[in-house]
Structure 1
Amino acid sequence: MTSASAPPRRLTGWARRPLAALDEVGDQGLFYLRVMRGILRALRRHPGEVLRLTAELGAGTGALALIGGSVVIVASITFFAGAVSAAQGFESSSNIGVGSLSPILAAFFTSRLSTPLLAGVALSVTLGAATTSQIGAMRISEEIDAIEVMGIPSLPYLATTRCLAASIVITPLYIFATLAGFIADYFFLVAFYGVGAGNFRHYFFLYLSPLDIIFSYIQVVAMAIVVMLIHTYFGYTASGGPAGVGEAVGRSVRSSLSAVMIVNLLIGMAIYSNFNTFHLAG
């Protein structure tokens, strides 16, 4: 009797998985709408919390603050990414005898691809993971319930303020990340590969369009908001004690990394499909 009823139960479990996934997507969508709806309340009622979180996300706390916070982490990642793009660009262009034009490739890939994408990845694994663990710890220790008991809506206070802080702190982070990538391009092409400094400045700034920097900044801001929305959701809905918080951090990082790639692709297609700032002409 048990063996005969086992297959239908197993099939029923498999059939419920898509519905459960669809329910979770709907819950996330409603959560994001509630977070965005609380922007005005967060700005009006909790401006001090927004400023505190901005400083915390930018400078870090504890051991992270000793090395300079998120600024140093993001800048170091984009620096090495710029070094890789410079090396690949020089080697590829040298194979066809135009190594002196490698600054063109460095300007193109650093501004359009490596800086926004890797900045989003760095935000996910640093600021995002820390946000999930913080809110998740508050959830399992019933601090969120205590905030609600005091008459303070917890969602604008915890989630919306962090999204606003991320959208503010992303500006200096993006500036340092972009400068680190450009410095890496110059250092490796001029000092290591022997490209002339004047040649580098001429071709690099000739093909570095200011609009590419603006579009790249738009991509990074969008990715920062998406990353914080995802991580605040998983932290806010964490359960199961410390092990549940760790699981929520892992799930949030996986989800936000996938979202960063998707957002980067969609915004890049929307911007550059009908508007091209790169024109190679003799």
Structure 2
Amino acid sequence: MARRSATSTLKRVAGGPVRILDVLGQQGLFYGRVVTSLPTTLRLYKKELIRLIAELGMGSGALALVGGSAAIVASITYFAGGVAAAQGFESSNNIGVGSMSPLLAAYFTIRISTPVLAGVALAVTIGAATTSQIGAMRISEEIDALEVMSVPPLRYLVTTRVLAGLIVITPLYVFASLAGFLADYFILVFFYESGAGNFRHYFFLYLDPLDIVFAYIQIVAMVVVVMFIHTYYGYNASGGPAEVGEAVGKSVRSSLSAVMVVNLLVAMALYANFNTFHLAG
């Protein structure tokens, strides 16, 4: 009996890497099908794409009343920008250079807080909603009904949402960046009284336009990963409502981890070749 239990344990342990590779292979095939269907989807489902852009940007129901995803992302980056400004002022003031705190706010807001927190906000708002919607369609056999009507469900449900996420991210990124900059200005000028002229001088002196472009590239990469992961878990959900909830939880955990990894890799690739921060002339 003990030998049997030990053998079964060894089989489970040995089969773990195989199952992981199998899941990764399934996800890779799914993402490849989504990418190859992008041109056809853009040509055939323009109306559905426009509807999804409005839904992902402004939300639906109670979420739309508070401004949708744009308001959520902007509020998160606003408070993150305020924290960056406050910490920057306190740290620089301790060594007698509090007037230079706007340069720290400009550096951390656009390079760190805005890309990372915008990606996290997208994962827990747009991403989770996408998984629950597609998962509910799967368990209620709506996806099977689309197949019966000769409508490719992957193009109609998945690829359209990936495209909508890529389009929606541009205005969301603008709102998120402006909210972070507004928080920097409000905290440093009105709370710490560093002076509006001093803020404008140091903030825009060290805010390189290339950093804004790099942050946008980081967010676009994170959106692609987030939409891929959440649509995969929603499309492959099975069982009942409880299983859909589990799929949402798995997708959120996976996308949050992926956001951090993607942000690190893209930042290393971009900033390794372009040094946009020069403290000395």
TM-score, normalization by structure 1: 0.98
The CA distance in 1 between the partners of 2:230 and 2:169, in whole Å, is: 16
The CA distance in 2 between the partners of 1:221 and 1:10, in whole Å, is: 43
| Residue in 2 that maps onto 1:50 | 49
Q: Does 1:67 align with 2:81?
A: no
| Residue in 2 that maps onto 1:41 | 40
| Residue in 2 that maps onto 1:19 | 18
The CA distance in 1 between the partners of 2:149 and 2:87, in whole Å, is: 57
Q: Does 1:215 align with 2:249?
A: no
| Residue in 2 that maps onto 1:149 | 148
Q: Equivalent pairs: percent with the same residue?
A: 70
| Residue in 1 that maps onto 2:226 | 227
Summarize deviations over 1:129-177 as a string: whole Å, max 9, x none: 0000000000111111110111111111111100000000001100000
Instruction: Give SS of 2:276's match.
Output: coil
User: What residue identity is the alignment partner of 2:21?
Assistant: L
Q: Does 1:115 align with 2:79?
A: no
| Residue in 2 that maps onto 1:5 | 4
For residues 82-231 of structure 1, what are the structure 2 equivalents within 5 Å?
A: 82-231=81-230
- Once the two structures are TM-superposed, the CA of residue 274 in structure 1 deviates from its matched residue by 1.7
Summarize deviations over 1:65-122 as a string: whole Å, max 9, x none: 0101001000000000000100110011011110000000001111111101100000
The CA distance in 2 between the partners of 1:20 and 1:240, in whole Å, is: 20
Instruction: Give SS of 1:215's match.
Output: helix
Aligned residues: 281
The CA distance in 2 between the partners of 1:233 and 1:268, in whole Å, is: 26
Instruction: Give SS of 2:279's match.
Output: coil
| Residue in 2 that maps onto 1:278 | 277
Instruction: Give SS of 1:97's match.
Output: coil
The CA distance in 2 between the partners of 1:6 and 1:217, in whole Å, is: 53
Instruction: Give SS of 1:103's match.
Output: helix
| Residue in 2 that maps onto 1:246 | 245
The CA distance in 1 between the partners of 2:51 and 2:221, in whole Å, is: 22
User: What residue identity is the alignment partner of 2:196?
Assistant: A
Summarize deviations over 1:180-221 as a string: whole Å, max 9, x none: 000000000111111011000011011111111111111111
The CA distance in 2 between the partners of 1:272 and 1:3, in whole Å, is: 56
What value does the CA root-mean-square deviation take over the aligned residues?
Answer: 0.8
The CA distance in 2 between the partners of 1:226 and 1:142, in whole Å, is: 26
Instruction: Give SS of 2:193's match.
Output: coil
User: What residue identity is the alignment partner of 1:116?
Assistant: P
- Once the two structures are TM-superposed, the CA of residue 43 in structure 1 deviates from its matched residue by 0.7
The CA distance in 2 between the partners of 1:4 and 1:82, in whole Å, is: 60
The CA distance in 2 between the partners of 1:99 and 1:276, in whole Å, is: 24
Instruction: Give SS of 2:114's match.
Output: helix
- Once the two structures are TM-superposed, the CA of residue 3 in structure 1 deviates from its matched residue by 3.6
- Once the two structures are TM-superposed, the CA of residue 58 in structure 1 deviates from its matched residue by 0.3
- Once the two structures are TM-superposed, the CA of residue 25 in structure 1 deviates from its matched residue by 0.6
Instruction: Give SS of 2:134's match.
Output: helix
The CA distance in 2 between the partners of 1:263 and 1:119, in whole Å, is: 13
- Once the two structures are TM-superposed, the CA of residue 4 in structure 1 deviates from its matched residue by 3.2
